[in-house]
Amino acid sequence: MTASVFETLRDTLRAGEPAALATVVEGPHIGAKLLVRPGVAPVGDLGDPDLDRVVARDALGELESGLTSTRHYGEHGEARERTVSVFIESFALPPHLVIFGAVDFTAALAKVGKLLGYRVTVCDARAVFATVARFPMADEVVNDWPDRYLAKIADDLGPRDAVCVLTHDHKFDVPAIAAATRTRVGYVGAMGSRRTHNQRTERLREAGVTDAEIARVMSPIGLDLGARTPEETAISICAEIIALRTGRIAPSLRDASGPIHS
């Protein structure tokens, strides 16, 4: 017996794989379903092959961005018509939070990242510090140089993902920031005092990072909340990630002046 659309969706979600479910919510064939997954033929139909084709294409696009919305079409998938309303629900993979540097702040940031639904990777070249025992909340602890690890995952990083550089060591954080600004990642933040930040900006320029790439970096990292503890700092970083994603105006440390801790 062939699996129903629901059974296929259920098994896909249980396996932790991405999918988008399209449902006709207004128009002919109300309730009809099309389940779309990357690299697999769609399951179900919306009552018209041309509509299926157009919706499958749009659903993959929505899934890529992690968006869920209702779109309108003509009966055969025509754009700019509204005969058929299709609700496209994305079940995207969780966004990826990559934290470079196995320091005190890392555990707190990894915890808050998990709370917000991120898949969290902690990466540090120093195997003594980057251990699963120290970061049990992380999905993955990687012993590698930041730029080498970023090169491996660069193609998978997108607008929903974030890279936070907490290493506090130019040797590690300059190549990490340089590599991160050349990916499609939505957020790049780097920790450090204003003095560290100024020195690091110089070193980034020396390493050939352009002004436009440097302008992408939130440094010093986080919102200007007066955060002191690692946990408070983690909240200020995650709040900045949210504000950048939603385009809201929130006071970033980067855009203020004076000491971070006063």
Contacting positions for another protein (CB under 8 A): 4-6, 9-10, 13-14, 21, 23, 25-26, 30-31, 33, 44, 68-70, 85, 87, 89-91
Q: Kindly state the smallest distance separating residue 46's Cβ from another protein, in Å.
A: 12
Q: Kindly state the smallest distance separating residue 231's Cβ from another protein, in Å.
A: 27
Nearer residue to another protein within complex by CB, 25 or 115: 25
Q: Kindly state the smallest distance separating residue 131's Cβ from another protein, in Å.
A: 31
CA 191 → CA 60, 104, 108, 253, 260, distances in Å?
A: 36, 12, 14, 10, 11
Task: Name the nearest CA neighbour of 71 among 57, 61, 84, 56.
Answer: 84
Residue the block writes with tokens 């754009």: 79
Nearer residue to another protein within complex by CB, 87 or 129: 87
Amino acid making up residue 215: A
What is the rounded CA–CA span in Å between residue 233 and residue 78?
Answer: 49
Which tokens belong to 222? 């986080």
Nearer residue to another protein within complex by CB, 71 or 182: 71
Nearer residue to another protein within complex by CB, 89 or 147: 89
Q: Kindly state the smallest distance separating residue 9's Cβ from another protein, in Å.
A: 8
Cis omega before residue 146 (within 30°)? no
Nearer residue to another protein within complex by CB, 8 or 106: 8
Q: Kindly state the smallest distance separating residue 219's Cβ from another protein, in Å.
A: 31
- Phi, psi torsion values for 176, nearest 5 degrees: -65, -45
Q: Kindly state the smallest distance separating residue 86's Cβ from another protein, in Å.
A: 10
Nearer residue to another protein within complex by CB, 7 or 202: 7
